C-alpha cells in the first residue's frame, strides 16, 4: 500500500497548460509497470476513489455533474473495451482514481510587453487512475490526465472533457 500512496502523490505533481477548444488543454499520459502485460488480466473490481481540493478562498464552483460517478462509468466502459470485465469475487485487478483540484496553482507567464516572467494564478485539475494487481498489491498501470479549470462550463462540456481524458488515457493501456 505504501507504493500506492507514493505513486498518487507523485502523479498529482503533474499539472498542465492552456486551452482553446473543449479538450485542447487536456494532457494525458500513462505508464505500465515494467514487465506487465495487461492482456493477462481479465477481471477487476473497484477499490474506491479519492479527491483533493486546494481552495482556501472557496472560489471553485463545481459543475452540476456527478464527477466521480461519470469517471467510474467511463473507466468501466474503457476496461470492457479492453476485455477486462467487472467481477466482485476474486478479481485480478482493483481500480481506483483520484481527482485533484488546485485553485491556488501558479505558473510563470511571460508578459508580452515587458518580456518579464510574472506569476499568474491558473487553477488546475488532475485525474489519476491506478490499476492494482490484487495478488501482489502492486500498481500495474497508472494513467494521468491534467487540465486547466475552465470556469462557467456547461454539464455537456464537462462530460466531454471527462470522456476525452479517460478515453485517451485508456488508449495507452496495453
In a domain? residue 23: no
Return the H-helix or E-strand segment holding 4: helix 2-12
- Burial of 8-33, coded b for 16+ CB within 10 Å and e otherwise, reads beebbeebbeeeeeebebbbbebebb
Q: Which residues contact 40 (CB under 8 A, 6 or more apart)?
A: 92
In a domain? residue 24: no
pLDDT tens for each residue of the chain, 174 residues long: 444 433 333 333 333 333 348 899 999 999 999 999 999 999 999 998 888 878 777 777 766 788 999 999 999 999 999 999 999 899 999 999 999 988 887 777 777 888 888 787 777 899 999 999 999 999 999 999 999 988 888 899 999 999 999 999 999 998
CATH no. for residue 34? 3.30.160
Whole-number pLDDT of residue 14: 32
From the centroid of its chain, how far is CA 92?
22
Where are the alpha helices (H) located in 24-133, listed in sequence order? 67-81
Whole-number pLDDT of residue 90: 94
The candidate with the shortest Cα–Cα distance to 139, out of 4, 8, 47, is 4
In a domain? residue 119: yes
Range of the domain at 81: 2-18+29-171
The label of the residue with cell 471527462 reads 162
In a domain? residue 136: yes
Contact call for residues 62 and 30 (beta carbons, < 8 A): no
To the question of pTM greater than 0.85 for the whole model, the response is no
Number of independent structural domains in the chain: 1
Whole-number pLDDT of residue 122: 79
Q: Which residues contact 8 (CB under 8 A, 6 or more apart)?
A: 50, 98, 128, 130
Could you report the per-residue pLDDT of 121-140, keeping only the tens digit for each? 777 899 999 999 999 999 99
In a domain? residue 111: yes
Amino acid at each position: 500500500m505504501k507504493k500506492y500512496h507514493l505513486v498518487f502523490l507523485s502523479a498529482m505533481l503533474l499539472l498542465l497548460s492552456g486551452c482553446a477548444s473543449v479538450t485542447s488543454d487536456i494532457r494525458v499520459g500513462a505508464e505500465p509497470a515494467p514487465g506487465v502485460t495487461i492482456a493477462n488480466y481479465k477481471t477487476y473490481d473497484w477499490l474506491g476513489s479519492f479527491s483533493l481540493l486546494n481552495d482556501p478562498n472557496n472560489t471553485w464552483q463545481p459543475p452540476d455533474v456527478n464527477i466521480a460517478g461519470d469517471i467510474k462509468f467511463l473507466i468501466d466502459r474503457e476496461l470492457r473495451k479492453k476485455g477486462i470485465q467487472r467481477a466482485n469475487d476474486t478479481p485480478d485487478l482493483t481500480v481506483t482514481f483520484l481527482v485533484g483540484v488546485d485553485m491556488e496553482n501558479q505558473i510563470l507567464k511571460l508578459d508580452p510587453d515587458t518580456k518579464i516572467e510574472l506569476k499568474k494564478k491558473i487553477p488546475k485539475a488532475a485525474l489519476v487512475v491506478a490499476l492494482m494487481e490484487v495478488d501482489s498489491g502492486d500498481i500495474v498501470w497508472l494513467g494521468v490526465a491534467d487540465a486547466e479549470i475552465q470556469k462557467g462550463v456547461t454539464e455537456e462540456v464537462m462530460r466531454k472533457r471527462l470522456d476525452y481524458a479517460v478515453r485517451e488515457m485508456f488508449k495507452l493501456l496495453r
